[in-house]
Amino acid sequence: MKYLAALSLLALGASAQTTLPSIQVQGSKFFFPNGTQFFIRGVAYQQGVGTGGASGATSDTNTQYADPLADGAGCARDIPFMKKLKTNVVRVYAVDPTQNHDDCMASLSAAGIYVIADLSEPNLSINRESPAWDTQLYSRYTSVIDSLQTYSNVIGFFAGNEVTNNASYTAASAFVKAAVRDSKAYIKSKSYRDTLYVGYAADDDQYIRQDVADYFNCGDQADAVDFWGYNIYSWCGDSSYQTSGYADRVAEFSNYSIPIFFSEYGCNTQGGGAAGREFTEVAALYGADMSKVFSGGIVYEWFQETNDYGLVSVSGNTVSTLADFNALSTQLAKVTPSSVSAAQYTPTNSALQSCPTLFQNWTVSSPNLPPTPNQDLCDCMYSSLSCRANSDISAEAVGDLFFVVCGYNDGRPCTGFTANTSTGVYGPYLGCNDTQKLSLAFDTYYKEQGSSSDACSFDGNATVVQASKASGSCTSLLSAASSSASSISSGSGTSSGSGSSSSQSSTHSPNAAARFGPQGISGSGVMMGMYVLGMAVLGGAMVVL
């Protein structure tokens, strides 16, 4: 009966179409339109990967996640308990853009709750081990933006989650920053509201955290993030402002020019798992020292799962609060962050950061980024080829074929899609799918061999076809791409930047394999495993045309 009563009340609120005022960014803080500062009191709200829509959030059997924003009944069940925590933000890690989100978003709005959504999903994200920013990812990101942009209680989006989580994967940051750039440009090109922001959620790696933070907040403002999320689990048990490293993080980010907040927090290694969490860090996070720099945080996580971080357990329509729910509620009830009104606030830290310099732990130069994926360009290029890769090549064979063809003729067959993050050189066709890129490599080699019939075989994996003559817009697109590829062959187009690094204690997010977002995704991308003209060639997943 309690659940039904709550459902009825939320339905009444939703039916009134309550519209929350959009949150605005001013300097390094969030504000309501009336000038009141906004602090995030959030929870991570999404159940585990691989549920296949079992919760009822989606009926698409090809979607290997349950979109909580598409589950109106689930939202109505959970929101009354969120209100007990004074929750004002939920973070969701994977949204299905083909589903309708009206019911849940209206219920959240009626309860005064905003949304920050990741743009990726478990099977489609920027894979740190073989990073790509291609047409398929671009389509995914922009479709999520399209599906949520109409709701005024959407603060913005994360273009990546812990993609670069140690020094081995710093190159991936260039691809995430390209995604940030293009997501922001897409929002602007569609004339969506200017209070729709794009950020990044970073982990707490001691060796690169400062460089990652500087990189995403340096260079051209159009390429930089609008807000910064920080997944941090360093306050465990009976810790302190100093011992946890919170004081150091405040010092490091005191001059950051955009809002920063904990995009995940809530260590459970103190003993007793989730039940042992007392959330004593809440007093520090919303206290006088930290609230001048940080805009609150998002507790990981709402649902109790095998990783033992849940605030509640859910069985059907029944919600049971757990011990840490009560502990969090008690701690949040005690805090009142130090705030400032927008009228009285003059940002003193408006300048972007200096870009990191190249060194052993940082392999990304600035300001060059991978190109914006252009489906028209890729289609034009593919249509112009006489030697094409067969469409039935297995994903396992793709890497081997790239290795073979890119090793011919000093790597020239693959200059059109090379990627070197340390020099900032990227081929114009880097954003095309692997079928198109492999075909380009085959065709380039084929023509360099005088179009000899035996030069388009590759053990039966390629076929000679009738190429289409470029016309209309394809002519200009291919001409510009050809010029770019020629400059790569000549060795021009490199760039470098400057910056600093940090090396202190670190923490990492829990149970990565069970979480949404790039950290929990193995991906199906293929690392081509070779260098072309000294540049790493990075490939995405095999896409059959």
3-state secondary structure 97-145: CCCCCHHHHHHHHHCCCEEEEECCECCECCCCCCCCCCHHHHHHHHHHH
Residue found under tokens 């904990």: 262
pLDDT at 528: 39
Encoded tokens for 522:
């193995």
3-state secondary structure 477-531: HHHHHHHHHHHHHCCCCCCCCCCCCCCCCCECCCCHHHCCCHHHCCCCCCEEEEE
CA distance 189 to 182: 10
Confirm if 501 and 210 have CB atoms less than 8 A apart.
yes
CA distance 493 to 487: 7
Name the stretches of the chain with pLDDT < 70: 1-17, 49-63, 490-545
CA distance 522 to 128: 9
Would you tell me how many other CB atoms lie within 10 Å of the CB of residue 346? 9
CA distance 416 to 429: 6
pLDDT at 507: 57
pLDDT at 509: 58
pLDDT at 470: 86
Encoded tokens for 493:
């187009």
pLDDT at 486: 81
- Known catalytic residues are 162, 264
pLDDT at 491: 64
Predicted model pTM: 0.87
pLDDT at 371: 97
Confirm if 438 and 398 have CB atoms less than 8 A apart.
yes
Structural domains in the chain, CATH included, are 24-54+65-344 (3.20.20.80), 375-487 (1.20.58.1040)
